[in-house]
Chains A and B, each alone.
Chain A
């Protein structure tokens, strides 16, 4: 396996893996970087046995998901990697961190929609996968993915509109 082949694989997937992890560790940059490094080390050690007929995207995302589950398990936490996505820093049941800016509102809205819709939006609009690769990751046809992603965006917009119109009480308190 040539170095250049792995380098190309890394270049194509590093940002996506990083973002996947970043949004599931409360946007902690240090943790996301550590986990990303570990994921690619695992991928490097197993690259020789990777079947080129398989989807590279699906393969590396599976490694990332499993590694994330192991990370939380080592911290004595059992999590659902899709449910924990986009949780805002500090929102752990103890004290909610109030976020006023638009990006935090989008993250809040993403956390409120169902996991399947959230996954499609994340894969398409945050990680930038084309529909064909998303279809390989989720195991559906590209046509189905396109339709479902569009519907997911409509639902996200409805949730986001509601957040802007009805800010949470904690937001109002912080603003006053």
Chain B
């Protein structure tokens, strides 16, 4: 599968628009924009950042905002979760460089994992939270792939991601082992791909390490991406 992904990457690269075309069209569009909207040309950096910075300051100095932002107990469905999401979205605007964005996404992955582990400890349904973790893992891997020049940071984040993926695997296996038949009947698309593996896991005498390997077999795209990044 890695070879196929490499071939698709080559196809992606060979089908890209030229820099000359992109630049020329951009200039044409912005000139046309000036014709269409002659009043709306300025870009005031202070205005662009004043509102999000002010929002951050206001929310963070409120006790509720700080709690919502920092606590793994505030998860999807909680009344404070929109506050948490809002602060994270504002925070994301500040991280423009590939390095800062990679660090930010790795931190967000840690948050999603902590939320899933919090819910799992309380034996709550973590299916949707697992989906959020998987999405965030995907985002983190995307950002790491863009760290072409900073080898040291890339290595650091990959090492952290490996640990986080291990924790994600543990949560998935725990979920699979504890899901009841009625939950399985209404299971969403997230674990559809691992249902076959669930049957094998339940019926087998596999060790925990072997079960983890089996999990990788049904989510090979995550393992492959690590193999490609190393």
Using a CB–CB cutoff of 8 Å, the interface residues on chain A facing chain B are 1-4, 6-7, 10-11, 14-15, 18-19, 22-23, 27, 32-33, 36-37, 40-41, 44-45, 48, 102-103, 106-107, 121, 125-128, 130-132, 140-144, 146-148, 150-151, 153-154, 156-157, 160
Partner of A37, one of B11, B25, B30: B25
Q: Determine which residue in B17, B22, B40, B190 has the highest number of CB atoms from chain A within 10 A of its CB, and name it.
A: B17
Assess the B36–A44 pair: CB atoms within 8 A: yes
Beta-carbon nearest neighbor of A4 in chain B: B43
A156–B11 touching, CB < 8 Å: no
Q: How far is the CA of A157 from the CA of B43 in the complex (A)?
A: 48
Q: Does B5 contact A (CB under 8 A)?
A: yes
Given contacts A14-B22, A44-B32, A128-B12, contact A2 B40 (CB under 8 A): yes
The digit string for B10-24, where 1 denotes a CB below 8 A from any CB of A, is 111011110001100
Query: Contacts A2-B43, A10-B29, A40-B25; is A143 near B12 (CB within 8 Å)?
Result: no
Closest residue on chain B to residue A141 by CB atoms: B189
Q: Smallest distance from the beta carbon of A22 to chain B beta carbons, Å?
A: 5
A141 to B192, CA, bound (A): 13
- Report whether A7 and B189 are in contact in the complex, using a CB–CB cutoff of 8 Å: no
Taking the complex as formed, is B62 at the interface, i.e. its CB lies under 8 A from any CB of chain A?
no
28 A-B pairs in the complex with CB atoms less than 8 angstroms apart: A2-B40, A2-B42, A3-B33, A3-B43, A4-B43, A7-B30, A10-B26, A15-B17, A19-B12, A32-B17, A36-B17, A44-B32, A44-B33, A102-B10, A126-B11, A126-B12, A130-B135, A130-B138, A132-B135, A142-B131, A143-B131, A143-B134, A143-B190, A146-B134, A148-B189, A150-B193, A150-B220, A150-B221
B34 located at the interface, meaning its Cβ lies under 8 Å from any Cβ of chain A in the complex:
yes
Determine the chain A residues whose CB is within 8 A of the CB of B22 once the complex forms. 14-15
Q: With A and B bound together, what is the CA distance between A44 and B190 in angstroms?
A: 37
Chain A residues with CB under 8 A of B41:
2-3
Q: Is B139's CB within 8 Å of the partner chain A?
A: yes
**Closest beta carbon of chain A to B135's beta carbon, Å:** 5
Interface residues of chain B: helix, strand, loop or mixed (majority):
helix
A3→B40 contact, CB < 8 A: yes
Q: Are A125 and B8 in contact, with the CB atoms below 8 A? A: yes
Minimum Cβ distance to chain A for residue B33 (Å): 5
Task: Establish whether residues A3 and B34, one from each chain, have CB atoms under 8 Å apart when the complex forms.
Answer: yes
Q: Are A14 and B11 in contact (CB under 8 A)?
A: no
Cα A142 to Cα B223 with chains together (Å): 19
Question: At the interface, is chain A mostly helix, strand, loop or mixed?
Answer: helix
Chain A nearest Cβ from B12, distance in angstroms: 5
CB-CB under 8 A from B185, the residues of chain A are: none
Q: In the bound complex, what is the Cα–Cα distance between A18 and B11 (angstroms)?
A: 13
**Residue of B43, B135, B192 touching A142 (CB-CB under 8 A):** B135
Contact with A along B187-230 (1 / 0, CB 8 A): 01110110000000000000000000000000011000000000
B17 near A143 (CB under 8 angstroms)? no
Taking a contact as CB atoms under 8 Å apart, the answer to whether A160 and B4 are in contact is yes
| Bound form: Cα–Cα A37–B31 in Å | 13
Give CA–CA (A127, B9) in the complex, Å: 10
Contact of B1 among A10, A18, A153 (CB under 8 A): A153
Q: Which listed residue, B10, B40, B189, touches A147 by the CB 8 Å rule?
A: B189
Whether B28 lies near A37 (C-beta < 8 A) is yes
Name the residue of chain A whose CB is nearest to the CB of B37: A1
With both chains docked as a complex, state the minimum distance between the C-beta of A116 and any C-beta of chain B, in angstroms.
Answer: 14
Give Cα A143–Cα B1 distance, bound, in whole angstroms: 20
Is A130 a contact partner of B142 (Cβ separation < 8 A)?
A: yes
